[in-house]
Chain A
Amino acid sequence: MMTVEQELSNVPPQKLAVENVSKQFRTRHGVVQALQNVSLQVREGEFVCLVGPSGCGKSTLLAIIAGLETPTSGQVLADGKPVTGPGRDRMVMFQESALFPWLDVLGNLMFALQLKPNLNRKERREVAQFYLKLVGLERFAHANIHELSGGMKQRVALARALAPNPRVLLMDEPFAALDALTREQLYGDIQEIWQKRKKTIVFVTHNVREAVCLGDRVVLFLPSPGRVGEQFTIDLPRPRDINSVTLAEHTAEIMRALKRYLHGPMEERGR
């Protein structure tokens, strides 16, 4: 049996390797190449942001890493083993909170923990309380989901994703639907939790500034077909403030690169 202390302090290493992943979707208008030969390495404990315009396949790649989608070709290795389906070692946070409205806040966390073996009911409750406290919502354990604000919902979703103690956290534009002020708070929180809990995070966003604020590395995705364009290492001290000037410089650099990729060939064609 695992004690609560062991459960909470258990932080095993993990690494992700995306190897030559391609994904095609069949639609009514023909075959769409969502991803083409994407390869990507994620070190353990790294915070990687996938950024790019909509339709560049970054969310699809996240779903493939999560095991919710299967690639048409290529494979994803988690800790050296091929991903064949979803697993508690790779938890996902979605843009909509995806919290279950028929359960209260604590019930949502317990749902994630009930499927985890080696803990009894009391220990599960303790673990759930720990994560609620981590996201600052311990007073809302018995609140209904609809009573929470958008930011609180995403905090609960974060706590629920953290609860099974995954090594990897996959975040699919989790802050896109929030107002700017709430988002800035969550930037601070997520950096703190990432360092405290030593997670490996893959974070998908279309907001370049957000990506620079959060990531150790920013991977620029390009559309049609979805592929990796360029990668940028962001070597700034943490915690980072989204409004700092150095951050803006990095953002501008990535934006220039993005524009070059997107509009470059067209301008040449135009001339």
Chain B
Amino acid sequence: MKRWTRAVVFFAALAALWEVLVRTGWISDLLVPPPSRVALYLARALGDGTLLDASYITLRRLLLGYLVGLAAGLPLGLLNARFKFMEDTLGLLALGLQTLPSVCWVPLALLWFGQTENAMFFIVIMGSVWSVILATDAGVRHVSPIYIRAARTMGSRGLHTWLKVILPASLPFIVSGMKQGWAFAWRSLMAAEIYVTILTGFGLGHLLHYGREQHAMEQVVGIMLVIIFIGLLADKILFTPWERFLHRRWGTEKT
């Protein structure tokens, strides 16, 4: 409870200071909209449904693309760790493409898929799949061989060893890779939405973009806050339970 109040007080003070600075004219409200106007915009956008619609569209793109990225990345990462041939080919490719900010895919995605949802999915997948592959690969390589030896004496073979020993043993790596993949996917989707207009749906990025075009900075800041909020929420819902489980089981948490 104490940590909550601390956080609330901190952010309230921050907003109050910001409001005062703009109201007294220290900062021009042309450059920075005061929090009261941001709040007003958010209330209106919530009321007329634009905010929820945009959030829904953005989250759907993100989640679907991310799930495909995971579904492709996990098995490819396992294969990568298992076969030297894969390591020398796909592994190198993954390493290279992971360094490429996936917004760089936008021109090609538009050329290949047009201004459609598929272009967005493609960009999100390109953003997430490589780090999942690399993390899974690294996780498997770090599995202590003694676990595999012990499992073999208990009669574990082949697929059973992979699913019941190697995969869970590399879970700490895989979860941090999944988290990284999520962050990359989120960033690239925002960049793509701001960068190109997609005819099949207005996401949060588009709202932000139009706020800029109309010089409605309260809209820009409001959408930024929503993006931050969704990012935090996703972290708490998707990854915190996993991390908690890992910390408790593996005993990596500091007491």
Residues of A that sit less than 8 Å from B by CB: 66-68, 85-88, 90-92, 94, 96, 98, 100-104, 111-112, 115-116, 144-147, 160, 164
Contacts and interface: CB of A to CB of B under 8 A. Distances in A.
Contact of B153 (A90, A96, A101): A90
Interface residues on B, range: 20 to 34
Nearest to A95: B146
Interface of B, secondary structure class, is helix
A98 B150 contact: yes
B251 interface: yes
B149 interface: yes
Interface stretch (B90-98, B164-172, B185-193, B227-235): B164-172
Contact of A116 (B155, B168, B251): B155
A81 B155 CA distance: 18
Contact of A86 (B155, B165, B168, B248): B155
B147 interface: yes
Nearest 9 pairs between A and B by C-beta?
Answer: A146-B251, A115-B155, A98-B150, A102-B168, A112-B154, A86-B152, A86-B153, A98-B146, A92-B153
Interface in B160-183: 160, 164-165, 168-169, 171
B91 to A, nearest CB: 25
Given A102-B168, A102-B250, A66 B156 contact: no
Given A86-B153, A87-B155, A115-B154, A101 B250 contact: yes
Contacts of B152: 68, 85-86
13 contacts: A66-B153, A68-B149, A68-B153, A88-B154, A88-B155, A94-B150, A96-B146, A98-B147, A102-B249, A103-B168, A111-B151, A112-B154, A160-B154
A102 B169 contact: yes
Contacts of B168: 100, 102-103
Contacts of B151: 111
B169 A100 contact: yes
Interface of A, secondary structure class, is loop
Interface of B: 146-147, 149-156, 160, 164-165, 168-169, 171, 248-251
B155 A147 contact: no
B249 A94 contact: no
Contacts of B164: 111
A147 B255 CA distance: 12
Contacts of A147: 251
B78 to A, nearest CB: 16
Given A68-B149, A92-B150, A102-B249, A164 B155 contact: yes
A225 to B, nearest CB: 24
A145 B249 CA distance: 7
A70 to B, nearest CB: 13
B156 A115 contact: yes
Contacts of B150: 92, 94, 98, 100
Contact of A100 (B147, B153, B160, B251): B147
Nearest to A88: B155
Nearest to B245: A102
Contacts of A116: 155
A160 B147 CA distance: 13
B153 A91 contact: yes
A205 B150 CA distance: 19
A172 to B, nearest CB: 10
B245 to A, nearest CB: 9
B149 A94 contact: yes
